[in-house]
Structure 1
Amino acid sequence: MFDLRYHVASLTAVFVALVIGILVGVGLSGKGFVNDAERDNLTNQISALQQQVASAQGSLDAASRVEDALRRFSDEAYPAVVPGRLDGRRVAVLFVGPVDAGTALTVRKAVVDAGGAVVRTRSIRVPLDTQRVQDILKRQPSFRPLQGLAQLGDVGGVLAGELARGEATPLWDALDETIVLERKGLSAPPVDAVVVVRTAEPQRGPTKTFLAGVYTGLARTGAPAVGVDSSGDGATAIPAFALAGLSTVDSVDTSAGRLALVLVLGGGAPGNYGVKEFATDGILPPIIAQPTQG
């Protein structure tokens, strides 16, 4: 839907350029610089491009109507579909970079609306201070298999497992002052699902390896793990999440995004959902009816 807008804008820009070209050509033709054949060729190009712009504009209008219908459907379906989807389920939220208050509130509201609870939130500092991390790992013999830059992916994987399982979290405890920006909630209770948000810029080198380990580790916990993004136009982490095997939901700040998030966290079909180009599985996962009681 959104790509059509850029298509129309591109065609319009080319159209304007050709119009300028034909006007210049007409002006020069009087002085003998442009012959009639060249002018006719430019005129034909403008006519053809006019038709393409009109066709693209029609497609954009149709897509806009679909978008409006989707928004109305999501707004109306959300209160009917969401309640009870996460009854009694515990959710952890992990931010890569500082906590974004708006996204945190959006995720928490969706979970609570569905009957669940966000029991802990962690945000990790990037880029990683690799030297300090290595110094800490060397102090404890139990962390010997994790030592070395080549093992940073494993470090991320262990942290992911501890975040989901709860109970004892020795690696989080050891690295707390080095990698944790903010923490809310206790580490002990295990969680039923995890939401990941990246607020930091894309990382490179050792930090990229570390984050890939975190994402892959969360995807392997067996619990629903979803990487989310907002509807803004900034750098997106959705491709990195998907590459690691996480389900993804873009535009989580919309009713359609919140609905998709709840459905996946509640055990819906894993996949990549939303309205942007990386939403390869559609806008929403299949909506399975809740069993009735009584």
Structure 2
Amino acid sequence: MPDLRYHVVSLISVFLALAVGVLLGIAMADNGLLDEQLRAQVSDIRADLEGQRARIAEKDERIAALEERAAEDDAMLAGISEAVISDRLEGTSVALVLGPYADEGTGEALQDSLALSGATLTSVTKLEPPEPTTLEASTPEEQYAEEAADILAPYAPTGDVASAGPDAVVFLGGGNPPPEASNALADAETAMFRVWEGANVRVVGAEASGDGRSQIPQYDDLGIPSVDNADRPAGRAALILLAAGAAADGAYGTKPTASDPFPPVPG
């Protein structure tokens, strides 16, 4: 699909044609012939234009080559990540919780990674934004604390045989909430995290690399291990290792708040 550079070149061509037409008209009106100086000027302009087109084509070829290389690297990294997380959470029950503004595509990718890891997915919960406090409604903190307790409830994976609640909770936050909702949302989520920690359930925080709102500082303050690039294969692999307790707690990923890009892989 033509980009801005092609449109610029097209506009230059149009104005060049107009300029040449005007010059031709003037020259023909004076002498009826295009003098040598005018021919040389037109030739120079055309040469410059062709040179610019050639440079644009060369840059496009470089961009295409880089994109192809990046796709190959992503495919290789995805394969390595799959090998790292395969069956890593076998026998571990995990609840996946998506914040109200979390990236849904990343949430779906996390479900796939948890399945590959062998985890038993007890529930997938998509939170709604907390409601404002009124005389009839509870506070945002109380609303999310109640939601957190429900997520820890026993589940019945087969038949009517109830099992204990999840061993770990993976929380995908971040996103792009409206600025006026950020403080109340952070307080409500903190109340939710404290419920899980009080129940001795391992919590791992996550967000996508392009999220406008980063929760990594909040996770750090609460001592929750985290990844800031859960939309990437490496980020999901790091998250699985953290959920399994197989890597040192920390903030991993690509943002400035990360302590390391990736946790050490246990032997």
- Category of TM-score, reference length = shorter chain: 0.5 to 0.7
Assess, with a 3 A threshold, how the Cα gap between structure 1 residues 160 and 242 changes in structure 2: closer, same or farther: farther
1:210 aligns with 2:213: no
Matched, 1:278 2:257: yes
Bigger mean CA offset, 220-229 vs 245-254: 220-229
- Other-structure match for 2:95: 92
RMSD of aligned Cα (Å): 3.2
Paired residue for 1:195?
170
Q: Distance in 2 between matches of 1:98 and 1:233?
A: 9
For the 8 Å contact 1:226–1:247, the answer to whether it is kept is yes
Residue of structure 1 in register with 2:241 after alignment: 263
SS in 2 for 1:286: coil
Question: Unpaired segments of 5 or more residues in structure 1?
Answer: 1-67, 138-148, 169-186, 290-294
Contact 2:130 2:144 in 1 (8 A): no
Say if 1:210 and 1:266 are closer, same or farther in 2 by CA, change over 3 A: same
Aligned to 2:84: 81
Alpha-carbon distance between aligned partners in 2 of 1:228 and 1:113, rounded to the nearest angstrom: 18
Q: Does 1:253 align with 2:231?
A: yes
SS at match of 2:123: strand
The correspondence for 1:113, drawn from 105, 111, 116, is 116
Cα distance in 2 for residues equivalent to 1:233 and 1:94 = 17
What is the Cα deviation at residue 78 of structure 1? 1.8
| Per-residue deviation, residues 193-235 of structure 1 (Å, max 9, x unmatched) | 1111223516345443222211233344323211111121522
SS in 1 for 2:172: strand
CA distance in 2 between partners of 1:90 and 1:126 (Å): 26
* d(CA) in 2 for partners of 1:246, 1:94: 15
What aligned pairs does 1:33-182 form with structure 2 within 5 A after superposition? 74-97=77-100, 100-131=103-134, 135=136, 149=139, 153=141, 156-163=144-151, 165-167=152-154
Secondary structure in 2 aligned to 1:135?
Answer: coil
Distance 2:148 2:190 in 1: 11
The CA deviation at 1:120 is: 0.8
Structure 1 position 257, deviation (Å)? 0.4
- Secondary structure of 1:130's partner? coil
Residue-by-residue CA offset, 1:77-103 (whole Å, 9 max, x unaligned): 323221121113221111221564311
**d(CA) in 1 for partners of 2:89, 2:122:** 13
Partner amino acid for 1:279?
A
Partner of 1:61: none
- 8 Å contact kept, 1:157–1:218: no
Which TM-score applies when normalising by structure 1? 0.55
Does the CA-based 8 Å contact 2:93-2:121 persist in structure 1? yes
- Specify whether residues 191 and 200 from structure 1 end up closer, same or farther in structure 2 by C-alpha distance, changes over 3 A only: farther
SS class of match (2:193): helix
SS at match of 1:195: strand
Aligned partners of 2:88 and 2:240 also within 8 Å: yes
Pairwise CA distance, 1:255: 1.7
Pick closer, same or farther for the CA change 1:136–1:128 going to 2, 3 Å: closer
Which whole-Å deviations, capped at 9, do the CAs of 1:110-168 have from their partners, x for residues lacking one? 1111111322111222242322xx6366xxxxxxxxxxx5xx546544542442x3139
The aligned amino acid for 2:187 is T
Distance in 1 (alpha carbons) for counterparts of 2:199 and 2:250:
16
Q: Deviations over 1:223-273 (max 9, x none)?
A: 321111112152222222222222110111212101101100111222211
* Amino-acid identity (%): 25
Gap regions ≥5 residues in structure 2: 1-69, 156-161
Three-state SS of the structure 1 residue aligned to 2:136 is helix
Is the 2:235–2:253 Cα contact (8 Å) retained in structure 1? yes
Q: CA deviation at 1:283?
A: 1.8
- In the alignment of these two chains, the number of paired residues is 188
